[in-house]
Amino acid sequence: MTTLTVVQAVNQALREEMKRDDRVVLLGEDIGRNGGVFRATEGLLDEFGPSRVMDTPLAESGIIGTAIGMALYGLVPVPEIQFLDFIYPGFDQIVTNLSKFRYRSGGQYSAHVVIRAPYGGGIKGGHYHSQSTEAYFAHTAGLKVVIPSTPYDTKGLLKAAIRDPDPVIFLEPKKIYRAVKGEVPEDDYVVPIGKSKIVKEGSDVSLFAYGTMLHVALEAAEEAAKRDIDVEVIDIRTLVPLDIDSVISSVQKTGRVLILHEAPKTGGFGAEISALISEKALEYLKAPIIRVAGFDTPFPYTWESIYLPDAFRVMKAIEKIMQY
């Protein structure tokens, strides 16, 4: 075992997969000599050369379009979008082309692309560098959407994504790039896509979260324990495909549900989890489902700490659901 940060886990996963499979190539803005804006690809250009670690122009449509072409010719491109907020020039390429190649070709072609992008707030990036728009991609059939929360899962899920034949949107919570450390095996391993994880067992409330918000959930669960409230914390990890069986199993145990994410509440992925629970486990609920999320506003700069859910807001929701 070795102790890594989240961004180091990204770097290690990319290095190991590039060594394992010479079809894996990286492309993106400043990812070569500069190692990317967050240094996630630092050192990889020197190790693998410019034919496999490619700096690109500042043109997201070109980055994604090039990656799709590479994939159709048998490569395994892993493009980096500097911030998820910048992905929209390439949005049409993703939802119109990348997501549909396998379906439209009757399975003859698969666009084996893993799009990496830092997402979310917490670094004072303002409204052009802090958005959480994972629900846009979860709505698009043909894409898998993965969001890790720990170094262990970051490395294991990224390796699994690179080995997966389907296109994957791999979103990295930038606030915890260097703020969270954890033990990571030195041996090869993958974390299966489509499986959630019970991070803390509990019997009173099921608290579902992903990305940076997992750590907020654990902080709130610790505070709840001081008040004799036993919170079960589940890391969703993969939005698409969603591990709905594990979600329902937890709901059946606790009967109370709280869903936490930093994306705006309206149309956020928490709404999908809530709807599925209502459809499949309504008879087990002891109280209404509560969502704690970002607000339905542009992401603020000055009021970032108020916009982002914190343990205080989550604790208030836990108390409310317990008093119902």
Task: For residues 143 and 170, give the distance between their C-alpha atoms in angstroms, rounded to a whole number.
Answer: 10
Is 215 among the residues known to form the active site? no
CATH code for residues 2-184: 3.40.50.970
* Sequence ranges of the chain with CATH classification 3.40.50.970: 2-184
Q: State the average pLDDT over residues 116-144.
A: 94
Q: State the average pLDDT over residues 220-246.
A: 98
Look at residue 151 and tell me whether its pLDDT is greater than 90: yes
Residues 6 or more apart whose Cβ sits within 8 Å of residue 265: 271, 291, 293, 294, 295, 296
pLDDT tier for residue 69 given thresholds of 50, 70 and 90 = very high
Whether 140 and 127 have beta carbons less than 8 Å apart is answered as no
Whether 261 and 228 have beta carbons less than 8 Å apart is answered as no
Residues 6 or more apart whose Cβ sits within 8 Å of residue 230: 202, 203, 204, 205, 224
pLDDT tier for residue 110 given thresholds of 50, 70 and 90 = confident
* Sequence ranges of the chain with CATH classification 3.40.50.920: 197-323
Specify the pLDDT at position 124: 86
Q: State the average pLDDT over residues 150-171.
A: 97
pLDDT tier for residue 240 given thresholds of 50, 70 and 90 = very high
Specify the pLDDT at position 123: 85
Integer Rg of the chain from CA: 19
Fold that domain 197-323 belongs to in CATH: Rossmann fold (3.40.50)
- Portion of the chain with pLDDT greater than 90, in percent: 93
Task: For residues 304 and 233, give the distance between their C-alpha atoms in angstroms, rounded to a whole number.
Answer: 25
- Portion of the chain with pLDDT greater than 70, in percent: 100
Q: State the average pLDDT over residues 309-315.
A: 97
Q: State the average pLDDT over residues 298-313.
A: 93
Q: Which residue has the tokens 């698969």?
A: 110
Whether 158 and 212 have beta carbons less than 8 Å apart is answered as no
User: Exactly one of 112, 129, 215, 261 is catalytic; which is it?
Assistant: 129
Look at residue 126 and tell me whether its pLDDT is greater than 90: no
Look at residue 125 and tell me whether its pLDDT is greater than 90: no
| Backbone torsions φ then ψ of 232, nearest 5 degrees | -95, 125
Task: For residues 221 and 232, give the distance between their C-alpha atoms in angstroms, rounded to a whole number.
Answer: 8
